[in-house]
C-alpha cells in the first residue's frame, strides 16, 4: 500500500467506513432480513471488520492515491473490482469465524457499495471541476484556440483539463488529430479527431487555430521530428507536455504545457544512464571532476550523484558556479559528501594538493578553454590549459593510483583547423601516451556541440532574437553535430565504464544540422520577425565538423551510441618530444606557438591567423 494520509485521504477513509455500514444495512433492508441480521450488537463489530477489509483492499488498488478531479472509466473499474474482492474476502472471513449472513445480503451490499463509493468520487470530480471553472472564469486571460496532436491518453488528459479551465493547460480545445486511422472522426470529451498530422495546416486555417499542443510523447524521435516540422510551418504557438505514463499519480495534476524548444525539433532518442555500468566503477568512490562548475562538468556531477559515489570533488577556477552546484547536490543527496575546491589545472602544486587530500579513484577531466575564436587570439593560454593543464592532471592521476580517468575531448580535435581543436588533439595524445604504461585506465570521449552549453549558438541566437535581431551566422552552409548536455554526459559516464585503456570513444551524434535551419526554427518558435545575416567564417572555424581523421575508423561497442576510434599508435618518445618542444616555446616570449603546434599535431590544418 502506498498512500499518504492527507486531509483528503482521511475524509475518504471515514466516508468509506461509514459507506460500508450503510451498504450492509441497506442490503439487509432490501432483502427483508434487517431484523434478523441486526438482532444483536455483535453485527456492528463484524461490520467494522468488513469496513477495515474494504479500505485495505481499496488502498491496495491505490484508490486513495488517485486524483478524483480527473477520474474516469479506469477508476470506476478499479472501484468495482476492489469492492468485489473485499466482499469476497469479508464473506470468507465471516464464514471462518462462524458468523452467518445470507448470501443475498453480501450481493446487495456489494452493489450498493459500488454506487456509494463511485458516486461520492464522481461528485468530488464534478465539484472540483465546477469550482475551477468558476474561480478562473472572470480573471483568466483569453485562452487560445487549440489543436491537439494525439488522441491517446496524454491527448485526452490535455483536452479534459483544458475544458475544466486548468490554468496549467491554457487553451480552448477545438479539434484533434491522430495518425491512427481507427481514431478518425471519433470524439474525446466532445472534441472531434478530424484528421492526421498531414492535415494540420488545413485544420489550422479551417478552425482559426492559434495554438498547437503536441501530446504524443511516446512517439518515436523520427515521428516527433516529422510532426514538429509540419507544425512550425504554421503561425501557431507550439506547446508540448511530458509522457504522463512516466509520472507518479500525484504528479499528474501538476503537469503543465511548455514551449517546444529546439531540442525537441532535433528529435533525438533519449539516452538513459545505465546505472549498472556506472555503479560498477563510481559507487562508493571519491570522484574528481575538473571544470566541475561548467556546463559539462556540472551535469557530470548531477548524473554521477545518481549512482552513489562516496564523495564528489568539484574542482574549478570559478567559485560561484561551483558553489551553486554544491548547494544543489547537497539538497538532493544528503548521503554524498560534495566538496568544492577552487583552483586551476595549470597550477601543478594545487592539482597535487587536491590528489593528496582526497585520493580520488575516478577522474573526469572536463576543464578546458573551448571558445574557438578566443583561443585563436590567445593560443598560449589554450596550450597552457588544454595541453599542460591536462598533463598535470594526468600525471597526478597516474602517480596517485587513480582507477579510471576520462578525458572530455571534442570533434574539433579531428583534422583541427583551430588552436582549440589542435590543443584538444594534443591532449588526446598525452592521454594515450600515459595509457600504455600506467595502471590507471585512461580514455577519452569525443563528441560535438552540446545544446545549451556555455558558448553554444542557441543562447546566442535567443539573445539576438530577444534584441530584435539580426541573427548572425558565419556561413549559409555551415553544419554542426548536436546533442543535449544530459545525453552527452550519460554516454561519457557509460564509456568510462567500458574503457580498457587508451581508447578514444566516439559518441553517435546523429545527423549534422545546418546552423541556418536551426536559426530559422528558433525564429519560427519565437514568433518574432527577425532577419538572418551572414558574417563570414571566423578564424579557425570549419564549415563541417568531423568525428574521425582520414586514417581512423570505428569499432562498435555493446552500446550502439558509443564507438571506439581506431588509429595508429604514437610512441612514448615522440609524445615526450612534442611536449618538451611545446613547453619551451610556450615559456619563451615571442616564440612561434602556432608553428610549434602544427609540428606537434600533424593533422592540424593551418588557416589564416593574425600575428601573435
pLDDT tens digits, residue range 118-144? 777 777 666 655 555 545 544 456 788
292 to each of 296, 420, 445, 584, how far by Cα in Å? 8, 20, 17, 30
Q: Pick from 356, 374, 438, 305: which is nearest to 612 by CA?
A: 374
- Exposure string (b/e) for 560-570, b if CB count within 10 Å is 16 or more? ebbbbbeeeee
Work out the angle at residue 159's Cα, subtended by the Cα atoms of residues 154 and 161, and round it to the nearest 5 degrees. 95
Give one word for 208, left, alpha or beta, with left for phi > 0 and alpha for psi -120 to 50: left
Q: Is there a contact between 228 and 267 (Cβ–Cβ < 8 Å)?
A: yes
Residue 218 or 74, more confident? 218
Three-class secondary structure of residue 451 per DSSP: strand
State the pLDDT at residue 28.
83
User: In the predicted model, what is the mean pLDDT of residues 536-544?
Assistant: 71
Q: Is there a contact between 502 and 432 (Cβ–Cβ < 8 Å)?
A: yes
Residue 46 scores a pLDDT above 70: yes
Q: Pick from 233, 222, 234: which is nearest to 146 by CA?
A: 234
CA distance 557 to 546: 20
* Burial of residue 335 (number of CB atoms within 10 Å: 0-12, 13-18, 19+): exposed
State the pLDDT at residue 201.
92
| Sign of the alpha-carbon torsion through 192, 197, 198, 200 | positive
Residue 589 or 414, more confident? 414
The pLDDT mean for the chain works out to: 82
User: In the predicted model, what is the mean pLDDT of residues 212-238?
Assistant: 85
Q: Record the pTM.
A: 0.66
- Active-site residue set: 412
State the pLDDT at residue 2.
46
Residue 67 scores a pLDDT above 60: no
Write out 303-326 in H/E/C secondary structure. Answer: HHHCCCCCEEEEEECCHHHHHHHH
Residue 460 scores a pLDDT above 50: yes
Helix (H) or strand (E) holding 20: helix 7-30
* Burial of residue 98 (number of CB atoms within 10 Å: 0-12, 13-18, 19+): exposed
Instruction: Give the up-direction half-sphere exposure of residue 244: CA atoms within 13 A in the CB hemisphere.
Output: 19
Cβ of 74: how many Cβ atoms within 10 Å? Answer: 9
Distance in Å from the first CA to the final CA of the chain: 70
Q: Is there a contact between 479 and 447 (Cβ–Cβ < 8 Å)?
A: no
State the pLDDT at residue 25.
87
Max mean pLDDT range (195-199, 232-236, 509-513): 195-199
Work out the angle at residue 447's Cα, subtended by the Cα atoms of residues 430 and 599, and round it to the nearest 5 degrees. 40
Helices (H), 267-317: 275-282, 295-305
State the pLDDT at residue 553.
65
111 to each of 82, 234, 573, how far by Cα in Å? 12, 53, 87
Lowest-confidence pick of 236-250, 382-396, 423-437, 588-602: 236-250
**What radius of gyration, in Å, describes the C-alpha atoms of the chain?**
32
DSSP 414: S
Residue 147 scores a pLDDT above 60: yes
- Going by pLDDT thresholds of 50, 70 and 90, the confidence category of residue 354 is very high
State the pLDDT at residue 549.
57
State the pLDDT at residue 612.
41
State the pLDDT at residue 252.
58
> For residue range 284-305, what is the model confidence (pLDDT) as tens digits?
999 999 999 988 999 999 999 9
State the pLDDT at residue 317.
92
- Going by pLDDT thresholds of 50, 70 and 90, the confidence category of residue 527 is confident
State the pLDDT at residue 541.
66
331 to each of 275, 328, 335, 463, how far by Cα in Å? 21, 5, 10, 31
> For residue range 312-352, what is the model confidence (pLDDT) as tens digits?
999 999 999 999 999 999 999 988 999 999 999 999 999 99
Q: Phi and psi (nearest 5°) for 533?
A: -125, 130
Alpha carbon 511 to chain centroid, angstroms: 20
Amino acid at each position: 500500500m502506498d498512500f499518504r494520509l492527507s486531509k483528503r485521504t482521511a475524509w475518504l477513509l471515514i466516508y468509506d467506513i461509514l459507506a460500508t455500514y450503510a451498504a450492509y444495512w441497506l442490503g439487509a433492508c432490501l432483502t427483508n432480513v434487517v431484523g434478523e441480521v441486526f438482532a444483536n450488537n455483535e453485527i456492528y463489530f463484524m461490520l467494522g471488520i468488513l469496513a477495515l477489509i474494504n479500505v485495505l483492499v481499496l488502498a491496495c488498488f491505490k484508490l486513495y492515491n488517485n486524483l478524483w478531479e480527473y477520474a474516469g472509466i479506469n477508476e470506476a473499474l478499479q472501484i468495482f473490482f476492489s469492492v468485489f474482492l473485499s466482499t469476497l474476502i469479508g464473506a470468507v472471513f465471516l464464514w471462518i469465524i462462524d458468523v452467518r449472513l445470507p448470501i443475498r445480503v453480501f450481493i446487495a451490499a456489494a452493489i450498493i457499495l459500488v454506487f456509494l463509493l463511485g458516486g461520492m468520487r464522481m461528485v468530488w470530480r464534478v465539484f472540483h471541476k465546477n469550482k475551477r471553472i468558476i474561480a478562473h472564469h472572470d480573471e483568466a486571460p483569453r485562452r487560445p484556440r487549440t489543436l491537439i496532436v494525439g488522441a491517446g491518453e496524454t491527448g485526452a488528459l490535455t483536452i479534459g483539463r483544458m475544458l475544466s479551465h486548468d490554468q496549467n493547460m491554457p487553451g480552448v480545445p477545438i479539434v484533434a488529430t491522430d495518425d491512427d486511422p481507427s481514431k478518425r472522426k471519433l470524439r474525446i470529451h466532445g472534441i472531434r479527431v478530424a484528421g492526421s498530422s498531414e492535415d494540420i495546416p488545413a485544420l489550422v486555417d479551417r478552425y482559426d487555430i492559434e495554438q498547437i499542443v503536441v501530446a504524443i510523447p511516446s512517439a518515436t524521435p523520427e515521428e516527433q521530428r516529422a510532426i514538429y516540422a509540419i507544425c512550425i510551418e504554421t503561425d501557431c504557438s507550439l506547446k508540448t507536455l511530458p509522457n504522463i505514463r512516466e509520472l507518479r499519480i500525484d504528479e499528474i495534476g501538476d503537469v503543465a504545457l511548455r514551449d517546444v524548444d529546439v531540442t525537441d525539433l532535433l528529435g533525438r532518442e533519449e539516452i538513459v544512464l545505465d546505472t549498472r555500468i556506472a555503479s560498477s566503477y563510481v559507487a562508493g568512490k571519491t570522484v574528481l571532476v575538473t571544470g566541475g562548475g561548467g556546463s559539462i562538468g556540472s551535469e557530470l556531477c548531477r548524473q554521477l550523484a545518481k549512482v552513489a559515489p562516496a564523495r564528489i570533488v568539484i574542482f574549478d577556477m570559478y567559485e560561484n558556479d561551483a558553489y551553486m552546484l554544491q548547494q544543489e547536490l547537497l539538497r538532493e543527496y544528503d548521503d554524498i559528501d560534495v566538496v568544492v575546491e577552487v583552483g586551476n589545472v595549470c597550477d601543478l602544486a594545487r592539482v597535487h594538493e587536491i590528489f593528496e587530500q582526497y585520493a580520488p579513484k575516478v577522474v573526469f577531466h572536463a576543464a578546458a578553454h573551448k571558445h574557438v575564436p578566443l583561443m585563436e587570439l590567445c593560443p598560449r593560454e589554450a596550450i597552457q590549459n588544454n595541453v599542460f593543464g591536462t598533463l598535470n592532471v594526468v600525471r597526478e592521476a597516474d602517480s596517485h593510483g587513480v582507477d579510471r580517468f576520462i578525458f572530455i575531448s571534442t570533434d574539433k580535435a579531428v583534422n583541427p583547423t583551430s588552436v582549440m581543436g589542435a590543443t584538444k588533439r594534443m591532449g588526446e595524445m598525452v592521454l594515450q601516451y600515459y595509457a600504455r604504461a600506467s595502471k590507471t585506465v585512461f580514455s577519452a570521449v569525443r563528441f560535438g556541440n552540446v545544446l545549451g552549453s556555455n558558448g553554444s549558438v542557441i543562447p546566442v541566437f535567443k539573445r539576438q532574437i530577444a534584441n530584435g535581431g539580426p541573427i548572425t551566422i558565419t556561413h549559409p552552409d555551415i553544419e554542426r553535430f548536436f546533442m543535449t548536455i544530459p545525453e552527452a554526459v550519460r554516454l561519457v559516464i557509460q564509456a568510462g565504464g567500458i574503457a580498457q585503456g587508451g581508447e578514444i570513444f566516439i559518441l553517435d551524434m546523429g545527423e549534422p544540422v545546418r546552423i541556418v535551419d536551426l536559426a530559422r526554427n528558433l525564429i519560427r518558435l519565437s514568433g518574432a520577425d527577425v532577419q538572418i545575416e551572414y558574417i563570414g567564417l571566423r578564424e579557425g572555424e570549419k564549415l563541417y565538423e568531423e568525428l574521425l581523421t582520414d586514417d581512423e575508423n570505428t569499432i562498435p561497442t555493446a552500446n550502439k551510441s558509443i564507438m571506439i576510434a581506431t588509429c595508429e599508435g604514437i610512441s612514448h618518445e615522440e609524445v615526450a618530444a612534442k611536449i618538451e618542444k611545446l613547453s619551451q616555446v610556450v615559456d619563451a616570449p615571442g616564440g612561434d606557438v602556432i608553428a610549434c603546434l602544427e609540428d606537434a599535431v600533424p593533422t592540424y590544418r593551418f588557416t589564416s591567423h593574425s600575428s601573435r
